[in-house]
Amino acid sequence: MVAKMHERYEDSKLFRIRHSSAHVMAQAVLEMFPTAKYAIGPAIDEGFYYDFDLPRTLTPEDLEKIEKRMVEIVKGNHAFTRKVVSADEARQIFKDQPYKLELINGLETGEVDEHGNPLAEKPEISLYVHDTFTDLCRGPHVENTREINPKALKLMNVSGAYWRGDEHNPMLQRIYGTAWNTPDELKDYLWRLEEAKKRDHRKLGKELEIFTFDEEVGPGLPLWLPRGGAMIEELERLAKETEFQHGYVRVRTPNLAKEDLFLHSGHLPYYAETMYPPMELEGVRYYVKPMNCPMHHKIFASKPHSYRDLPLRLGEYGTCYRYEKSGELFGLMRVRSLQMNDAHIYCTEQQFEEEFTDVVNMYVEYFKLFGVTEYFMRFSTHHPKGLGKKYVNNPEMWKKTEDMVRQAMIKHDIPFIEIADEAAFYGPKIDVQAKSAIGREFSIATNQVDFAQPARFGLTFINEDGQEEMPLCIHRAPLGTHERMIGFLLEHYAGAFPVWLSPEQVRIIPITDSQNEYALGLEKRLHEAGVRVEADLTADRMNAKIRKAQLFKVPYMLVVGEKEVSAGAVALRKRDGAQQVMPVDEFIALVTERIRTRSAEL
């Protein structure tokens, strides 16, 4: 099972180090504040945190003292030991800790785990003890604090956090920390944090005039500026060309539909909280669409199909609207209006493996194009306890489709990790996790199996034996949404996009007004060749014009003076600093070839 060798973070040594570091931090905090009430302290991506109810607000000096004490505890070589207890024993141990008592009640009833997360089944109640500290915890942990490298440990900051994320609950103080295997890894992480600030897509999006938000329009509803619009056009062109080569046909669907459609599909009961409220007209309720799926199913159902029609691949860049909570909105990464690289593939069971892996291969094509080298597939399955509540109640189809996905991934040697109880309500799914150039992880694409919708909509085709058969449906979005993909690419490239994707590909810079006419003629020729070009005819000096172009990260700057005009040439200045003089025709051939081939080279 080579394809399954990608280790789950939750199973890694680093996860145990971070989880254990959270306990060490809690010990240090309780020693500083003996009356403190402590809540939860999990390991998270690239670190850990712990929530506390403290008698006063923490200061930066407090963090220094806590971190110093943590180092002392780590050097004490204390073993982590696990003990299973009854609910009553746990209540006695944590009798003065109200947050722990609430979690114990949840564990006893089987509702939530010790971190407050919903449970699919009732667990045993366990404690972990090291030195003088005892915590309600299922683990895992390192065997001894000596496995935590004190030189690779650092507390980062403090923020407010409502208990269990509910604004009606008490506000706690959340201390964030990070831990790594080696000091060099910590150093690299801190560098990446600084680099991430520079690459923040919200900052770059504003500086490069890609997108904006406006309160009068509404939060989470991005406005794409002309430069962002150019990028969207390029991504759509890429998707349409790729999908045409893979045998897709394109469809279009409206932005709203009757309530009946979403009841029919089964989406409304599951997604009501993330849908905008209905509007009513002439006694009929309508919703703006949160997904394209039901309408694509209607398109499939609009005429009879035979097995010869399959696979049928319906593609659309449809705009959807989802009501994300205000506190969860984040730049382009979490929005309420999203343009999705959507498609639904209707196929037979015999065609499933080929179709499913073809979608995965499409991801790989895109990752190569964008220079993404680190990625993996997150395979989300259902949990039997959730049938009829969280998931469609069809255990046979769940087992069958999950086995089909698993076997396809293993057979084609596609690395993946398997996560239980995170499937879509209608079937298993693959979420594609990709890392940007500085190692930040994003979920940017999806590949889902839908066995429930075809049944609900009565979708059928006539098989080779002349009998009606239900198709399987694959729902995929290799480029995710414009919003998340462009946010990812802004950070991945730090705004310095390859020529084909750059909002502005060429800036022409005449040295004096005498070259303006030549610059305008050159601009016209490049525009006719399909290049996004702008001639800077402002009164600024040449160096100021170059600086402006550099701030916009324009790949090619063409400086033209008297010599260039006389020779019919340009002084090419590339974004990376390289310079050369070349004939106009040669430059046009260069830039158009870079665009045509979607080259990463300047």
256-271: pLDDT as tens digits: 999 999 999 988 888 8
pLDDT at 360 over 70: yes
- Distance between CA atoms of residues 107 and 127, nearest Å: 12
Residues 6+ apart with CB under 8 A from 162: 168, 169, 170, 171, 172
pLDDT score, position 118: 60
Q: 326: which 2 tokens?
A: 């205000």
Residues 227, 229, 235, 241, CA torsion sign: negative
Residue from 470, 467, 475, 447 nearest 457 by CA: 470
Beta bridge partners of 556: 506, 574
| Cβ-contact 490, 203 below 8 angstroms | no
CA 250 to chain centre: 25
- Distance between CA atoms of residues 492 and 572, nearest Å: 26
- Distance between CA atoms of residues 36 and 230, nearest Å: 54
Architecture of domain 499-596: 3-Layer(aba) Sandwich (3.40)
Half-sphere exposure of 357 (CA within 13 A, CB side): 16
pLDDT, tens digit (0-9, with 9 covering 90-100), for 187-242:
999 999 999 889 999 999 999 999 999 999 999 999 999 999 999 999 999 999 99
Q: Residue 535: helix, strand or coil by DSSP?
A: strand
- Distance between CA atoms of residues 524 and 547, nearest Å: 23
CATH superfamily of 204-255+289-493: Bira Bifunctional Protein; Domain 2 (3.30.930.10)
Report residue 412: phi and psi, to 5°: -95, 15
Q: Which residue has the higher pLDDT, 288 or 442?
A: 288
pLDDT at 289 over 60: yes
pLDDT score, position 271: 86
pLDDT at 373 over 50: yes
Cis, bond preceding 384 (omega within 30 deg of 0): no
pLDDT at 325 over 50: yes
pLDDT at 501 over 80: yes
pLDDT, tens digit (0-9, with 9 covering 90-100), for 376-421:
889 999 988 888 888 888 999 999 999 999 999 999 888 888 988 9
Q: pLDDT band at 275, cuts 50/70/90?
A: very high
pLDDT, tens digit (0-9, with 9 covering 90-100), for 519-552:
999 999 999 999 999 999 999 999 999 999 999 9
Helices (H), 471-529: 482-493, 516-528
Over its C-alpha atoms, the chain yields an Rg (Å, rounded) of 28
CA angle 524, 526, 528 (to 5 degrees): 70
pLDDT score, position 517: 97
pLDDT at 287 over 90: yes
Query: Taking the CB of residue 132, how many other CB atoms lie within 10 A of it?
Result: 10
pLDDT, tens digit (0-9, with 9 covering 90-100), for 88-145:
999 999 999 999 999 999 888 876 665 556 655 677 899 999 999 999 999 999 999 9
Domains of the chain: which residue ranges? 2-182, 204-255+289-493, 499-596
Q: 238: which 2 tokens?
A: 């890429």
Q: What is the pairing mode between strands 441-450 and 429-435?
A: antiparallel
| Cβ-contact 52, 39 below 8 angstroms | yes
- Distance between CA atoms of residues 3 and 1, nearest Å: 5
Helices (H), 347-421: 349-370, 395-411
Share of the chain above pLDDT 70, in %: 97
Query: Taking the CB of residue 168, how many other CB atoms lie within 10 A of it?
Result: 7
pTM, full prediction: 0.84
Q: Which residue has the higher pLDDT, 148 or 444?
A: 148
- The H-or-E segment that residue 22 falls in is helix 13-32
pLDDT, tens digit (0-9, with 9 covering 90-100), for 411-433:
988 888 898 898 988 899 999 98
- The burial class, CB within 10 Å (0-12 / 13-18 / 19+), for 245 is exposed
CATH class of 2-182: alpha beta
Residues 6+ apart with CB under 8 A from 64: none
- Distance between CA atoms of residues 516 and 521, nearest Å: 9
Query: Taking residues 347-370, what's their average pLDDT?
Result: 93
Task: List Cα–Cα distances, 207 to 202, 407, 417, in angstroms.
Answer: 9, 46, 38
Q: pLDDT band at 166, cuts 50/70/90?
A: confident
- Distance between CA atoms of residues 555 and 188, nearest Å: 29
pLDDT at 4 over 60: no
Query: Taking the CB of residue 295, how many other CB atoms lie within 10 A of it?
Result: 20
Buried b (16+ CB within 10 A) or exposed e, 357-387: bbbbebbeebbebbebeebbbbbbbbbeebe
- Distance between CA atoms of residues 251 and 317, nearest Å: 9
- What letter does residue 548 receive in the DSSP assignment? H
Helices (H), 422-556: 452-456, 482-493, 516-528, 542-551
- Distance between CA atoms of residues 174 and 508, nearest Å: 52
Strands, sheet with 284-288, edge to edge from the N-terminal-most edge strand: 256-258, 284-288, 279-281
One-letter amino acid for residue 82 of the chain:
R
Share of the chain above pLDDT 90, in %: 82
Q: pLDDT band at 481, cuts 50/70/90?
A: very high
pLDDT score, position 1: 31
Residue from 451, 446, 486 nearest 470 by CA: 451
pLDDT at 437 over 90: no
Residue from 428, 318, 313 nearest 378 by CA: 428
Residue from 40, 260, 276 nearest 161 by CA: 40
One-letter amino acid for residue 206 of the chain:
K
- Distance between CA atoms of residues 534 and 458, nearest Å: 54
